[in-house]
């Protein structure tokens, strides 16, 4: 008999007074923005745990690999910590993947939130632990986030409602609908996973991509490499998030249309996900419906229990 795939593990939703532990798996962070972001988290009604040594700095990393992994693992093992939010992105998440305590996370899956370089960690945990992770704001980005970003994060982690994301200024690049698990990530960070043991499985998935400070030719180069590596074979659908500070939309969107010209999938642009001022929270690994004509991404079940 063919074995049935196990249902994805969903973490418990947060309630007022729950503790969010702060990790720094990648780069060091600005202290002022960090403290402002902590204030936003506290204003939502949550407590925060800032581990000792979180502010270490080794060049472009928030401490040595073992140090960053140790802090993350301690938060995973701490039963008083109900969620883990990352301080910032930058670079470094890929360096600690093999150091993570996956058994502890599998035994007690928690809400893990971040984006940019942190998406490497999110997709790794989603795959190896069969759990929902959350592509959303980080502590330092909450300092400048608009109210919709804050509300979207709170709605995703507080309570058990089914999420529906509707962008303000959607652009249908290719009509149609698709259903499948949502996988979201930073284009540059995902491209650097090509040829590694940490490549995500994208077959049948709705892929959400975003990036910042990347010129159109660099976006083309990364997408071409990923396509040649077979990443986009049998993709279900594509959502384009924020691509700020790199090129104009009229330069970037045709690149995606060309790269995916031989894939009969719906493509929706204009999603407020990524490095822009608005960064809506998306559960990773959960099944959803993308409607590129009616401009929504609708999850089939709550991301938390």
Q: What is the pLDDT of residues 70-89, one digit of tens each?
A: 999 999 999 999 999 999 99
Give the pLDDT mean for 236-252: 94
pLDDT at 4: 52
Domains of the chain: 19-157 (3.40.50.10740), 164-299 (3.50.30.60)
Share of the chain above pLDDT 70, in %: 99
CA neighbours closer than 13 Å in the CB half-sphere of residue 232: 22
Which of 257, 128, 246 is closest to 186 using CA atoms?
246
pLDDT tens, residue by residue, 258-284: 999 999 999 999 999 999 989 999 999
Question: Does 101 have pLDDT greater than 90?
Answer: yes
* Average pLDDT of the segment spanning 287-292: 98
Q: Which of 101, 129, 130, 126 is nearest to 113 (CA)?
A: 126
Confidence of residue 154 (pLDDT cuts 50, 70, 90): very high
Q: Please state whether 92 falls in left (phi above 0), alpha (psi between -120 and 50) or beta.
A: left
Per the CB < 8 A criterion, the answer to whether 47 and 20 are in contact is yes
Farthest CA pair distance, the chain: 57
Phi and psi at residue 134, to the nearest 5° = -130, 120
Task: Determine the pLDDT at residue 63.
Answer: 98
pLDDT in tens, 158-201: 988 999 999 999 999 999 999 999 999 999 999 999 999 999 99
CA atoms within 13 A on the CB side of 268: 27
29 vs 60: CA distance, rounded Å: 10
Judged against a pLDDT cut of 90, whether residue 246 lies above it is answered with no
- Residue 50: pLDDT above 80? yes
Residues assigned a catalytic role:
116, 210, 275
C-alpha distances out from residue 246 to 87, 242, 243, 250, 267, Å: 24, 10, 7, 12, 20
Using the predicted structure, report yes or no on whether residue 255 has a pLDDT greater than 50.
yes
Q: What is the pTM of this model?
A: 0.96
Q: Are 47 and 18 in contact (CB under 8 A)?
A: yes
């Amino acid at each position: 008999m063919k074995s049935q795939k196990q249902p994805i593990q969903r973490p418990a939703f947060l309630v007022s007074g729950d503790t969010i532990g702060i990790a720094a798996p990648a780069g060091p962070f600005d202290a002022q923005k960090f403290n402002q972001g902590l204030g936003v988290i506290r204003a939502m009604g949550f407590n925060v745990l800032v581990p000792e040594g979180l502010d270490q700095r080794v060049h472009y990393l928030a401490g040595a690999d073992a140090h960053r992994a140790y802090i993350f693992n301690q938060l995973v093992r701490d039963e008083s910590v109900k969620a883990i939010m990352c301080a910032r992105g930058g670079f470094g998440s890929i360096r600690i993947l093999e150091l993570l305590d996956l058994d502890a996370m599998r035994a007690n899956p928690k809400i893990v939130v971040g984006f940019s370089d942190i998406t490497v960690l999110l997709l790794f945990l989603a795959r190896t632990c069969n759990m929902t992770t959350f592509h959303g704001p980080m502590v330092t980005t909450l300092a400048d986030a608009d109210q919709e970003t804050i509300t979207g994060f709170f709605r995703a982690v507080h309570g058990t409602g089914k999420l529906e994301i509707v962008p303000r200024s959607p652009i249908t690049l290719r009509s149609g609908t698709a259903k499948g698990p949502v996988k979201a990530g930073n284009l540059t960070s995902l491209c650097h996973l090509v040829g590694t043991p940490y490549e995500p499985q994208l077959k049948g998935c709705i892929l959400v991509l975003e990036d910042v400070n990347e010129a159109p030719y660099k976006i083309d180069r990364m997408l071409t490499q990923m396509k040649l590596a077979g990443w986009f074979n049998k993709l279900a659908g594509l959502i384009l998030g924020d691509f700020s500070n790199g090129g104009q939309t009229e330069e970037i969107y045709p690149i995606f249309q060309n790269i995916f010209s031989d894939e009969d999938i719906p493509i929706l642009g204009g999603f407020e996900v990524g490095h822009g001022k608005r960064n809506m929270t998306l559960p990773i690994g959960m099944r959803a419906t993308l409607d590129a004509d009616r401009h929504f991404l609708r999850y089939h079940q709550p991301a938390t229990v």
